[in-house]
Amino acid sequence: MTRLMTSALLVTLLAAAAVYAQEPAPAGARQGGRGGRAGGPPQAAAPLPLFFKETWKTSSAAVPATQAVVANPDLTLAVYGKAANQPEVNEEGGVAHVWTGLCSPSCAVTLKNKASFADLSGKARMKWIAKVSGFHEIRPVVKLADGTWLVGNFADSYTYDYHEVEFHFADVRWMRLDIDTLTTKGALLDKVDLSKVDEIGFVDLTPGSGHGLGGYSDVGWMEVYGKPVAR
């Protein structure tokens, strides 16, 4: 083959390669072949929205936890327990909080959105700032749309100072709660449907010991992340 013919063949091959490179890939290939996912790293799921946040109103003195201390106008407060005018809301170290020191035998505090139930399935989570004294523990409590009350095995017992804690509802094991006596019933449940939750809050199942160190919970702002479900 002459040098001229060799050069011509090389030019033809290069031109064909350039044309092939500019052709769009087949639909299947663009999606990873056989209808697969698009190339590149997988896209992270969008985080769940903030369903509610409550920061508590305060005054110059401690006041009973009533609707008057709720800062978020979209929320309704409920308090459960037998102690009159307890728990209280006050401020310490710049942190407005619910204090359970005079709750006897115990207290639970919940909030609900006036317009929506909460879907707490999937990666729904809760976050709060809190501290306790003694052997007290702060646990999540929920009321389902069908009226069932549940308390979680997640327990915040940090005593040193206020700290932020966050957990996913899917990581929590649940037990039925008698809301009238604030006592647990039965065993840990194998499966719980949190797709329609009416009230969300916390409970301290241990009686308060009064003022001073010894036994109480301080719960500041609370955040819940989940999907709204129309009532």
172 and 68 in a common domain: yes
110 and 19 in a common domain: no
* Strand ranges (E), the chain: 50-54, 63-64, 75-80, 88-92, 95-99, 107-113, 116-119, 125-133, 139-144, 149-152, 163-168, 174-178, 183-185, 197-204, 216-225, 227-230
Tokens of 29: 């290939």
111 and 146 in a common domain: yes
90 and 29 in a common domain: no
Torsion 155-165-76-209 (CA) sign:
positive
68-95 pLDDT per residue, tens: 999 999 999 999 999 999 999 999 888 9
Query: Bridge partners of 224?
Result: 52, 126
Q: Which range marks the domain in which residue 156 is found?
A: 50-230
Distances (CA, A) of 14 to 21, 22, 134: 11, 13, 80
14: pLDDT strictly greater than 50: no
Mean pLDDT, range 200-210, rounded to an integer: 94
205 and 143 in a common domain: yes
72 and 186 in a common domain: yes
Instruction: Please give the torsion angle defined by the CA atoms of residues 155, 158, 161 and 167, in that order, rounded to the nearest 10 degrees.
Output: -40
75 and 15 in a common domain: no
How confident is residue 38, by pLDDT bands cut at 50, 70 and 90?
low
124-163 pLDDT per residue, tens: 999 999 999 999 999 999 999 999 999 999 999 999 999 9
Is the CB of residue 155 less than 8 Å from the CB of residue 137?
A: yes
How confident is residue 213, by pLDDT bands cut at 50, 70 and 90?
confident
Is the CB of residue 194 less than 8 Å from the CB of residue 120?
A: yes
Is the CB of residue 94 less than 8 Å from the CB of residue 120?
A: no
104 and 30 in a common domain: no
**The domain that contains 135 carries what CATH number?**
2.60.120.430
Query: Bridge partners of 185?
Result: 176
28 and 61 in a common domain: no
102 and 20 in a common domain: no
Number of domains, the chain:
2
204 and 132 in a common domain: yes
Query: Higher model confidence: residue 14 or residue 195?
Result: 195
Q: What percent of the chain has pLDDT over 90?
A: 74
CB burial of residue 227 (10 Å; 0-12, 13-18, 19+): middle
